[in-house]
Copies of this chain bind each other. A is one copy, B any other.
Amino acid sequence: MIDKHYNSPSYKPLYDQIKVLLTQSLIGGEWRPGDMIPSEIELAGRYKVSQGTVRKAIDALATENILIRRQGKGTFVATHSAEGMKLRFLRLTSQDGQKELLQNEFISCTKGKADVRMGQILDLKAGASTIEIKRLLTFSGRPLIFDHIIVPAAPFKGLNGTRVEENNGSMYSMYESEFGVRMIRAEERLKAVGAKGEVAKALGLKEGEPILSIERVSFTYGDKPMEWRLGLCVTDNHHYMNELE
C-alpha cells in the first residue's frame, strides 16, 4: 500500500502518496466540509509514516486551500460557507480595493442540453442535461454583474431558483451544503466586450458599451469541471484585481 519503492520507475515521494490518500478520504466523504480531520500523530500512525511526512502532505493541501490548519485546534476541511471564504473566488473590488457583499437578483433557472462546446468544457456528452441559471448581482441598488451559469444536471438534481435564493446567492456554499460538491479551483478568461440585448438592458447600459466578460470554469476534487459561468461586469466603479508572483 504505502511503499517507498525507490528505484521504481514510477517513484513518488511518500508525502505525495499520503496526499492522495487524504484526498480520497475527502472525495469519499469521510471528512466533510467544516469537519476536523484526525491529528497529525493519528494519521502518521494510520499510514505508518512519521509525523513530518504527514505534515508535508497536509501542508500541500493547505496551500491549495483544501485544508485549513488552526494551531492549537486542529486541521479542518475548508468550506465556502465559512466567513471570509464566501468571497474567495471574487476578484471584483471597488475602486478602493474592498470586496463588497453583493445583492442577488434571481432571473431564471431552466433546463437545457449541453452543446458540443459545453460538453467539452464540462466533460459531458453533447446533449447531456444541464441546468442554466441567470441572475443579476447588484451593489447598492446598481446592477453590477450579469451572471449566466451552467451546471450538469446529474450531480445537482433538484437545483432550482428557490434553492439559489435561500442561499442568498452564494452558489459555492449552496453546492456544498445541498449537493456535497465542493469547488477547489477555478480558471477564468477575461475579455472586453460590448454590452448587448438582454444583458445591456439588465445592466442599464446602451448597446455596445464596454463591459468586462469573465468566463469561469470551476473544478471539484480530481480536477473535475462542475460549473461554467459567464459574468458580464460593469467596471465603471469597480475593477478586477489580480496579484502576479
Contact = CB atoms under 8 A, between A and B. Distances in A.
A60 to B, nearest CB: 11
Contacts of A210: 192-194, 208-211
Copies per assembly? 2
B241 A185 contact: no
The main secondary structure of chain A at its interface with chain B is strand
Given A208-B208, A210-B210, A210-B211, A188 B245 contact: no
A244 B89 contact: yes
A178 interface: no
A148 interface: no
A239 B186 contact: no
A235 interface: yes
Nearest to A241: B189
Interface in A169-200: 184-194
Contacts of A142: none
A127 to B, nearest CB: 25
Contact of A240 (B88, B189, B216): B189
Interface residues of A, number: 34
A35 interface: no
A94 to B, nearest CB: 11
A212 interface: yes
Contacts of A39: none
B64 A241 contact: no
The interface centre, meaning the residue of A184, A186, A187, A239 with most chain B CB atoms within 10 A of its CB, is A239
A162 interface: no
A48 to B, nearest CB: 22
A91 interface: yes
Interface string A114-145: 00000000000000000000000000000000
A10 interface: no
Contacts of A166: none
Interface in A207-227: 208-213, 215-216
